[in-house]
């Protein structure tokens, strides 16, 4: 807001969008690496009898999260994602859905900035 030069303002807004996009990609990469990383230390502390059950539950959760991730990629409506967010019970599910909402909103903002202004002369 300190500059009146429209071209400079466009460059600044473009740089801000790029930084937001990069931050979103880093968040998604971090989430993906955490989602598929196994927790070895906590399993060693479990009772030996419960260990196979615990591992099976974790594998089922990982499978469910992977399926949810694929489902979220197919959704392109923020309202629909918001409904899913409200219905989600698990922290990891909500985290994935919020990341999908952020990604969609960033894509919408980028799409708006790339389209020409209706009142602008060409």
In tens, the pLDDT along 103-120 reads 888 888 888 777 665 555
d(C-alpha 76, C-alpha 115), whole Å: 19
17-37 mean pLDDT: 80
Count of residues for the chain? 122
Domain ranges of the chain: 55-112
pTM value is 0.49
**Predicted pLDDT at 47:** 57
User: Do residues 98 and 90 make contact, with C-beta atoms less than 8 angstroms apart?
Assistant: no
* 82-88 own/partner pairs: CB under 8 Å, 24+ apart: none
76-89 mean pLDDT: 88
Q: Alpha-carbon torsion 16, 20, 21, 25, what sign?
A: positive
**Predicted pLDDT at 54:** 75
**Predicted pLDDT at 96:** 87
């Amino acid at each position: 807001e300190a500059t009146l030069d429209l071209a400079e303002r466009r460059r600044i807004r473009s740089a801000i969008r790029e930084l937001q996009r990069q931050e979103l990609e880093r968040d998604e990469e971090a989430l993906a690496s955490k989602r598929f990383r196994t927790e070895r230390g906590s399993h060693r502390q479990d009772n030996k009898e419960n260990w196979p059950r615990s591992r099976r539950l974790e594998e089922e959760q990982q499978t469910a999260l992977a399926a949810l991730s694929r489902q979220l990629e197919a959704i392109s409506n923020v309202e629909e994602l918001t409904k899913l967010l409200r219905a989600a019970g698990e922290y990891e599910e909500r985290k994935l859905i919020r990341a999908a909402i952020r990604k969609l909103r960033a894509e919408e903002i980028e799409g708006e900035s790339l389209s020409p202004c209706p009142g602008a002369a060409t």
